[in-house]
Structure 1
Amino acid sequence: MELRSLLLLGLAGLSAGQYAQEDIDSGQVLLDLSQEAYDNAWARLENKTEGCTQQNVRIRKEWRDIPGPDRIDFVRAVNCLMDTESLNPDLPGARSRFDDFGVLHHQLSNYVHFSGSFLLFHRYFVWAYEEALRTECAYEGPFPYWNWGFDAHDVESSPLFDGSPTSLGSNGEYVPSGGGFFGMPPGSGGGCLIEGPFSNRTVNLGPGSGPDPYRYNPRCIRRDLNTPIASEWTTHRNTTDVLLDSTDVESFQALMQGDTRYPEAIGLGMAIHGGGHFAIGGDPGGDFNWSPLEPAFYLHHGQVDRLYFIWQNLDWENRQNISGTATMYNRPPSDELTLDDVMDIAPLGEPRTFRELMDTIGESPFCFLYE
């Protein structure tokens, strides 16, 4: 057995205190955990000749590891969704298939955050978006995620936001402000995208909820990149600590979201989930209900799902369960969810039990790994 494999044996369930802090901070421990999870999942596909196999499994990649032509084609496919007619013709603000994803997220927001469905809903939601890009807009490249830790100390220089043709557009024009909600430090943008992809696009729905949340309200995409938030909440240390400190899915999703119902999460503030959202910020990126109308949403949540994938596959036999009720913070009180309960994301996808959504190589409907 290779020395590296020997070193990785037994990583699952270990604590952050068992690693050199410099290796956690540099991202080396996260890299090792990611490779171990990938290898474990890959081994589960060994000798399979039907369904999801080593030959047909899709590999999701970090944005900077995707070749420039594929990144440009990804942008093309997103623009294609923005130009394709909505499946919600009765909603005046829903003008495109891209808008349909924002509509569904708005409709389910109070049920799929700080609830038992948070992780699996977003896994299915992001997958449905990928499927739309592939089946309706002919995208054939890898589906991307954004590893926040690479950019946590300089979000503005990220290849995801540098305004080049291989990015998702630039920061917004600088708009002086006194900071964001809940005392968050101000970002470095705040206005309309300055250049690059999506700088000529409009947001059609939102902001917020209001008396008529589905009204047509066209405006530019605003982005407010925020390195202070990223460096506080989305570093390699933040990310790795969640993986190492989570003993079960209940603690994993609590630490991921900074769920203050749990003592171990009280000091985490917005945590890595909220930190990734507000590192992008702006309108709609910083809007709880309408954040999927920001094109970078799906790369952020790709990273959320990647961490879930890693955590699951470090101890696969013991990490195929669900925890929590059907409502946000259990308000109003609702039943505990089970693996046999159904997640309905119509019209974006067919109803699926949570059990079907547990495994990214489980064939119903998924067949993907994270590199």
Structure 2
Amino acid sequence: MGFLKKLVPFALLGASLQGVALGADYPQEDVDSGKVLQQLGKTALDTALARLEGSTSGCTKENVRVRKEWRNIPGPERTAYANAVQCLMEKPNVYENVTGPRTMFDSFGVLHYKLTPYVHNSAYFLLFHRIYVWTFEEKLRTLCGYTGPMPYWEWGLDAGSVENSPIFDGSETSLGSNGEKVNGSNTFFPGGTGGGCVTKGPFVNYTVNFGPNTAADPLAYNPRCLKRDLNTPICSQWASLRNTTETILESPDIALFQANLQGDFRWPEARKFGFAVHGGGHFAIAGDPGGDFYFSPLEPVFYLHHGQIDRMYFIWQNLDWANRQTMAGTITMMNMPASRNGTLDDALDISPVGGNYTFRQLLDTVGDSPFCFVYE
């Protein structure tokens, strides 16, 4: 409880601020309601689509994929997405010499585990997770025949009740329910309403095969149920529409955008965001493995959460495209151990799960890159 109380004042600092982006002032009520975020998203979408005029990349207005918020996807397509994820949970693991991972879905957890010290609070955070989520989408399509949109989760729409979100309501068109209520289930963050095994809906029978990171051998076989501890206070405090919007509006450069998004206290300006939207989205789900920093991709909703992180990045980039194709930071988490600065020409090898790229190739979702997608 003490940790959360220490963070609360940072969030309250922003209560009376008006966001400023590209010289524009916005009424606080429009920031809080999501109206400004909607406007920023429309501007970013229009900017990205305009770059397709005369493009020779092969990405066109006719074939560009449009990523959508979960509740804007028709029920049958939501069900198809959940089925495709479950299909990946039946495809073989691609890593050798590990005992725990059994499936292609698990392989993404291994990749994240291995790269976590280099792709969080580092120069690589945003671009790594962009290619990571895209590679996951590609596996859904190529291995499991999924043809619908890649979903994201706009946390702020559920800041009043995560438990009633269409993602977590336990219906056939959800991604499963909250976990069974377990008293004292969450000792780090108060306010969780579950903590035990998911009780209904998709993934009720999903087996988490390995982890946690605290185990003697985190990659050893350790079968258990999927647990969730949904936490509305966390979502409301750190992942509201205000948090999301002001993170974008108050970030003039990539270094501060990353810091504000992750709550990186090394930047004084970022301290007002406290745990920030990245941590807020993760711990609004919490549980096991959702609350495990290394193994959170073994939680199916991870990909919707990081879809929203990438949506924020997409919006932020496209509000000032000419000046926002940059990288900042070192190549280790929190610069520990101390390391050199990352560059856009650094190589990223995510085999055997995916391909080999330079970070420069990952900047544009519609340009000379492996991507061809936008966010509605």
- Partner residue in 2 for 1:13: 22
- Partner residue in 1 for 2:39: 32
Pair 1:199 & 2:204 matched? yes
The match for 2:138 among 131, 143, 157 is: 131
Pair 1:146 & 2:140 matched? no
What secondary structure is seen at the aligned counterpart in 1 of 2:245? helix
Any conservation in 2 of the 1:13–1:245 contact (CA below 8 Å)? no
Runs of 4 or more above 6 Å deviation: none
Distance 2:293 2:23 in 1: 33
- Partner residue in 1 for 2:16: none
The match for 1:359 among 344, 364, 371 is: 364
* One-letter amino acid of the counterpart of residue 71, structure 1: R
* One-letter amino acid of the counterpart of residue 340, structure 1: D
Sort the Cα spacing of 1:199 and 1:142 in 2 relative to 1 into closer, same or farther, 3 A: same
- Partner residue in 2 for 1:370: 375
- Partner residue in 1 for 2:14: none
- Partner residue in 2 for 1:41: 48
Aligned 1:19-98 pairs, distance under 5 A = 19-48=26-55, 51-98=58-105
Aligned 1:136-215 pairs, distance under 5 A = 136-177=143-184, 179-181=186-188, 184-215=189-220
TM-score, normalization by structure 2 = 0.93
Distance 1:219 1:37 in 2: 42
Any conservation in 2 of the 1:173–1:193 contact (CA below 8 Å)? yes
* One-letter amino acid of the counterpart of residue 199, structure 1: V
Distance 2:164 2:191 in 1: 17
- Partner residue in 2 for 1:3: none
**1:345, CA displacement in angstroms?**
1.0
Distance 1:324 1:158 in 2: 35
**Which sits farther off after the overlay, 226-235 or 85-94?**
85-94
- Partner residue in 2 for 1:7: none
1:251-308 CA-to-partner distances (Å, cap 9, x unmatched) read 0000000001111112322100000000001000010000000000000000000000
**1:363, CA displacement in angstroms?**
4.0
**1:89, CA displacement in angstroms?**
3.5
**1:48, CA displacement in angstroms?**
3.4
Distance 1:333 1:22 in 2: 42
TM-score, normalization by structure 1 = 0.94
Superposition RMSD in Å: 1.2
What secondary structure is seen at the aligned counterpart in 1 of 2:66? strand
**1:362, CA displacement in angstroms?**
2.0
1:8-47 CA-to-partner distances (Å, cap 9, x unmatched) read xxx84346xx211111111000000000000010111123
- Partner residue in 1 for 2:129: 122
Aligned 1:99-110 pairs, distance under 5 A = 99-110=106-117
Sort the Cα spacing of 1:255 and 1:50 in 2 relative to 1 into closer, same or farther, 3 A: closer
Number of aligned pairs? 357
Distance 1:108 1:89 in 2: 17
Distance 1:49 1:112 in 2: 31
Any conservation in 2 of the 1:14–1:244 contact (CA below 8 Å)? no
**1:88, CA displacement in angstroms?**
1.3
- Partner residue in 1 for 2:282: 277
**1:347, CA displacement in angstroms?**
1.1
* One-letter amino acid of the counterpart of residue 151, structure 1: D
Distance 2:282 2:340 in 1: 29
Distance 1:272 1:12 in 2: 19
**1:180, CA displacement in angstroms?**
3.5
The answer for unaligned runs of 5 or more in structure 2 is 1-19
- Partner residue in 1 for 2:250: 245
- Partner residue in 1 for 2:6: none
What secondary structure is seen at the aligned counterpart in 2 of 1:110? helix
Any conservation in 1 of the 2:296–2:302 contact (CA below 8 Å)? yes
Any conservation in 2 of the 1:164–1:196 contact (CA below 8 Å)? yes
